[in-house]
Amino acid sequence: MPSKQEALQPDALEPDTLESEPQDRSAEWVSGLDELDRVPVTETRLGRVGAGLWAATWPKVLALALVIAAWQVIFELELKPAWTLPAPLTVWEDLSSFVVTAEFWTAIRITMWRALTTFALALAVGTVLGIAVARFKPLRAAIGSLITGLQTMPSIMWFPLAILLFQISESAIAFVVVLGAVPSIANGLISGIDYVPKEWRRVGAILGMRGLTLYRHVILPATLPSYVSGLKQGWAFAWRSLMAGELLVIVAGQGSIGALMQGAREFNNAPRVLTWIIVVLLIGIAVDAIFRTADSRIKRKWGLAEVR
Amino acid sequence: MSLTRQATPAATARGAAVALHDVVKRYGRGPGAVTALDGVSLNVEPGRFTCLLGASGCGKSTLLSLVAGLDELTAGSIDHVDRPVAMMFQESALFPWLTVSGNVEIAMQVKGVGRAERRRRARELLEVVRLSGFADKRPHELSGGMRQRVALARALAQDASVLLMDEPFGALDAMTRDLLHDELERIWRERNLTVLFVTHNVREAVRLGDQVVLLSSRPGRVLETFDVGIERPRRIDSAPVAELAAEITDALRAEVSRHA
């Protein structure tokens, strides 16, 4: 380090040397200063991803362990009869024998397919709605606060209407799931567009971008972090709505998670009910990890925050 | 040493790259309206380095936005020989979702330059600002001075003959600023650019400018024009630069005191 600073000094003090060989000396000065200014990056990329994933996972594992311990304690105290609240081990036995059956995987497939298709629909609707509301002032005045209001609406409230409109069908479930997820996705995009730094818009304008070009090259990429957090929240709403829907709207022949869970309750099969609760929890954790990874990847690339 | 205060007649005869005639800019209406610029006339000669200097409230940034076409005039006119113009700001305003090279390429992408050609020219321009090894880095991995050089490369990628600079080195430390003065001077000469440079730093203005235009504050008017006859390459800490800077600082102080 000191040798580099010494190399800096002569240039800064003697104008003659600058004149005699300006190219070489100033090039040295530039790269010397660049080198000193650089922030050294020590961690490897792979290590960072792993650390991020671990940081997102371990609190969940710990929480799960605590819940299981508390559950065992309550079971030992016999506060509830064993056929309504089985021991963790009983549930574990049911879970481990059940996950190898075709019935289990069919239920997972049906539910996840519903989740993905309805979320994709919500994504499309939410994105278009978000851009439209952010772009057109009258539209924002008309439905901007309505979107925020809808976000606070418990989605289970929509089911009676959905059943009247679509009867007991896939459409009834999809209707409610989409209504649950769209406001979050749209709001994420709207606030993202609202908070695009004005310097970026100015650069876009200087580079000759107008209208759609400006959206494509500046505004939409700039909203990415906010959009992803909107998606994450939208997914949470979609997933809740879907579970509520599957418990209420049992479509004939579709052995989804919710349908099988209702069936288990009707047969007083408490271990199976708890098995499903655990499975749904695990799916939630897995999806959350995906969104977290996407989120921290963006933050890392943009230099927005240090990854823990 | 040749310090002259009047505009050189020869320069005026050469015509202007940008000519401002009685430019007026008012914000708001009625009694609450604020006049930022009040009758600014200025010839920015081609190939020359013009510094706009003034205290707060002189509307120097407003003036630059008007020349760039980012804002609309209230009255007067601005004539351009060559449009559009390139511009650089105090914030580098690089896009974090693009690499260093991508940030330079985007200036050409908008104009429909093909991918391979964009790559090639971005590489060339990064060489010009001496950042060849950083093409695939992200903006946040660079220092403030390096980011400003990327912003300069992006401005050069616009391939405009006029470069507007709005306090581009205002947020940098003294050593980095000193370095960027040298770099900017070199690039300006190599590329025969017309530069309109806004600053509130008197020494910086004298270090860089062929001409220093002093603006009054609230409203902004052209107070005085100084021709800087100091031979290049200049150094910010040399005696002639300090001498002229002191003279201009006196004029600036007199103007600021008027508002006491």
Nearest Cα neighbor of A276 from A286, A289, A293, A264 is A264
**CB atoms A34 and B68 under 8 Å:** no
Q: Does B132 touch chain A (CB under 8 A)?
A: no
Give a yes or no: residue A242 inside a domain: yes
For residue B91, the chain A residues in CB contact (below 8 A) are 199
Residue A78 Cα, gap to closest chain B Cα (Å): 57
Average pLDDT of chain A to the nearest whole number: 86
For B119, the 3-state DSSP assignment is: helix
Q: What is the mean pLDDT of chain B?
A: 88
Minimum-distance CB partner of A199 among B91, B109, B130 = B91
Poorest-pLDDT segment among A20-24, B75-79, B206-210: A20-24
CB contact under 8 A, A217 and B176: no
Tens-digit pLDDT profile for residues A67-98: 899 999 999 998 888 889 999 999 999 999 99
Domains in chain A: how many in total? 2
Cα nearest neighbour of B129 on chain A: A30
Tokens 């240039």: give the residue: A11
Q: Confidence class of residue B58 from pLDDT cuts 50, 70 and 90?
A: confident
CB of B200 within 8 Å of a chain A CB? The answer is no
pLDDT bracket for residue A144 (50, 70, 90): confident
| Cβ-defined contact of B179 to A303 (cutoff 8 Å) | no
Q: Kind of pairing, strands B222-228 and B211-215?
A: antiparallel
Average pLDDT for A15-39 = 65
Asked whether A296 and A52 are in contact (CB, 8 A), the reply is yes
**What average pLDDT score do residues A164-186 get?**
93
- Looking at the fold, whether A29 and A156 belong to one and the same domain comes out as no
Single-letter code of the amino acid located at B168: P
Q: What is the pLDDT of residue A18?
A: 43
Does residue A113 share a domain with residue A208? yes
Other Cβ atoms less than 10 A from the Cβ of A289: the count is 15
Give ranges for CATH 3.40.50.300 in chain B. Answer: 3-85+160-257
Mean pLDDT, residues A241-265: 91
Contact A303 B141 (CB under 8 A): yes
Q: Which of A34, A39, A227, A298 to mutate to test binding with chain B, by most B CBs within 10 Å of its CB?
A: A34
Domain that holds residue A32: 2-37
Residue B97 contacts A, CB cutoff 8 Å = yes
Domain shared by A147 and A277, yes or no: yes
Residues A82 and A206 both lie in one domain: yes
Which of B86, B110, B183 faces A217 most closely, judged by CB atoms? B110
Contacts of A249 (CB under 8 A, 6+ apart): A159, A162, A163, A168, A169, A172, A173
pLDDT of residue A44: 59
Q: Which residues in chain B are closer than 8 Å to A27, comparing Cβ atoms?
A: 130
Of A19 and B182, the one with more pLDDT: B182
Does one domain contain both A157 and A263? Answer: yes
**A45 lies in a domain?**
no
Q: Are residues A67 and A30 in the same domain?
A: no
pLDDT of res. B163: 95
**Contact across the interface for A199 and B183, Cβ inside 8 Å:** no
Are A155 and A9 members of one domain? no
CA torsion angle B119 B122 B126 B128 (round to 10): 120
Tokens 């002032």, located at residue? A137
Same domain, A114 and A206: yes
What is the count of residue pairs from A and B with beta carbons less than 8 Å apart?
91
Does ipTM come in above 0.90?
no
Superfamily of domain B3-85+160-257, CATH level 4: P-loop containing nucleotide triphosphate hydrolases (3.40.50.300)
Q: Can you give the pLDDT at residue B2?
A: 39
Answer yes or no: are the C-beta atoms of B23 and B17 closer than 8 Å: no
**Residue A29 lies inside a defined structural domain of this protein:** yes
∠ at Cα B15 (B228, B217), nearest 5°? 55
Tell me the pLDDT band of A13, cut-offs 50, 70 and 90: very low
Closest by CA position to A233, among listed A130, A162, A109, A139: A130
Identify the pLDDT of residue B171: 87
Confidence at residue A43, expressed as pLDDT on a 0 to 100 scale: 56
Q: Which amino acid is at B72?
A: E
In the structure, what pLDDT confidence band is assigned to residue A49 with cuts at 50, 70 and 90?
Answer: confident
Q: What is the pLDDT, as a whole number, of residue B203?
A: 94
- Domain co-membership, A21 together with A117: no
Chain A partners within 8 Å of B142 (Cβ): 38
Nearest CA in chain B to A19: B233
CA-CA distances (angstroms) from residue A88 to A57, A95, A280, A282, B71? 22, 10, 16, 16, 69
Residues of B in contact with A33 (CB under 8 A): 145, 175-176, 179
Binary contact (A26, B183; C-beta < 8 A) = yes
Looking at the domain assignment, is residue A99 inside a domain? Answer: yes
Contacts of A30 in chain B (CB under 8 A): 130, 179, 183
Amino acid A189: pLDDT:
94
**What was the pLDDT predicted at A42?**
57
C-alpha distance from A75 to closest chain B C-alpha (Å):
53
Are residues A90 and A11 part of one domain?
A: no
Q: Residue A230: inside a domain, yes or no? A: yes
Say yes or no for a CB contact (<8 Å) between B143 and A31. no
Q: Do A34 and B95 touch (CB under 8 A)?
A: no
Query: Which CATH number does the domain housing residue A101 bear?
Result: 1.10.3720.10
User: Which residues does chain A have within 8 Å of residue B139's beta carbon, measured at their own beta carbons?
Assistant: 303
Half-sphere exposure of A22 (CA within 13 A, CB side): 11
The reported pLDDT for the residue numbered B151 is 96
Determine contact: B146 vs chain A, CB below 8 A. Answer: yes
Report chain A residues whose CB lies below 8 A from the CB of B144. 37
Calpha distance A189→A202 (Å, rounded): 20
Q: Residue A41's pLDDT band (boundaries 50, 70, 90)?
A: low
User: Which of B23, B47, B27 is CA-nearest to residue B35?
Assistant: B27
> Is B91's Cβ below 8 Å from some Cβ in A?
yes
Q: What is the pLDDT of residue A4?
A: 42
Q: How confident is the model at residue B148 (pLDDT cuts 50, 70, 90)?
A: very high
A269 belongs to a structural domain: yes
pLDDT in tens, B93-123: 999 999 999 999 999 998 899 999 999 999 9
**CA-atom Rg of chain A in angstroms:** 28
The residue type found at A120 is A
Please tell me what DSSP assigns to residue A169: S
Question: Is residue A201 situated within a structural domain?
Answer: yes
What tens digit of pLDDT does each residue of A178-233 get? 999 999 999 999 999 999 999 999 999 999 998 889 999 999 999 999 999 999 99
The pLDDT > 70 percentage for chain A reads: 88
Same domain for A72 and A214, yes or no, is yes
Higher-confidence residue of A260 and A47: namely A260
Out of A39-53, B167-181, B221-235, which region has the weakest mean confidence (pLDDT)?
A39-53
